[in-house]
Amino acid sequence: MRTLKITLAYDGTRFVGWQRQADGESVQGLLEDALARFEGGPVTAHGAGRTDAGVHALGQVASARVTFTHETRTLTRALNAHLPADLRVVSVEDVDEGFHARFSASGKTYRYQIRNTPVADPFDRAFVWHLPEPLSLGAMTRAAALLVGTHDFNAFRSAGSEVSSPVRTVTRSEWRNNAGLLTYEISGDGFLRHMVRAIVGTLVEVGRDWRRPEEISALLTGGTRADAGATAPPLGLFLVSVDYD
């Protein structure tokens, strides 16, 4: 047996998410079916993060235990030959037997994109949240900085989270503006269900002057999900990378 580390990129627009489901195409299902062609039997692929329907990835990581002996360079090309064009294997590596894409991860980086111009760009409509009204990027930047550190992120956790503790450490939380394309990047040791989208929705409310930047601190000290902002739509979210020690 060998353990493979598989790095993936995908346009999540039409997928039901990472996780295999009874109806609809999933990233996990398509990858497992492609791996099964070489294994000659079922293969289970574990993902570093269970991206939701409509969420994209630049650097999702999966792990799988297999018996076939194809070289990793050959396997990268061969897997892509059996995958749709909106799902690509970026690389395949042989790793230690104990490696697990999810449990071995030490951190992740996510990116969220907002097109803040009066008219939407038709060429990025599947990858941005279009908000035509003016937003205060300065206020959003001040609010985002308050998220850095170890906090209780319960106010940004949707129902159905499988983890018991909402405490997470955020190491980076920053906004950039490139000609009306607002890009938010957040890095941390782990993320709760819908956490990034809930954070973005709340920061947008700050940008709309619906709440003050300082309210973020209160949300991190005993706030509930009802106290925070609405969940931003999935189309603007990307899993950028997964870190391993």
Verify whether residue 152 is a known catalytic residue: no
- Which residues span the domain enclosing 132? 106-244
pTM of the model: 0.96
Q: Do residues 44 and 123 both lie within one domain?
A: no
Could you tell me if residue 101 is inside a domain? no
What is the reported pLDDT for 160?
67
What is the reported pLDDT for 202?
98
What is the reported pLDDT for 164?
80
Query: Which band of pLDDT confidence, cut at 50, 70 and 90, is reported for residue 64?
Result: very high
With pLDDT > 70 as the criterion, what percentage of the chain qualifies? 99
Q: Among 95, 114, 136, where does a domain finish?
A: 95
Rounded to the nearest integer, the mean pLDDT of the chain is 96
Active-site option among 52, 86, 124, 243: 52
Q: Do residues 32 and 114 both lie within one domain?
A: no
pLDDT for 158-192, tens place per residue?
Answer: 876 667 899 999 999 999 999 999 999 999 999 99
Q: Do residues 74 and 124 both lie within one domain?
A: no
Q: Do residues 87 and 132 both lie within one domain?
A: no
Contact partners, residue 38, CB within 8 Å, separation at least 6? 66, 68, 70, 75, 78
Q: Among 71, 95, 119, where does a domain finish?
A: 95
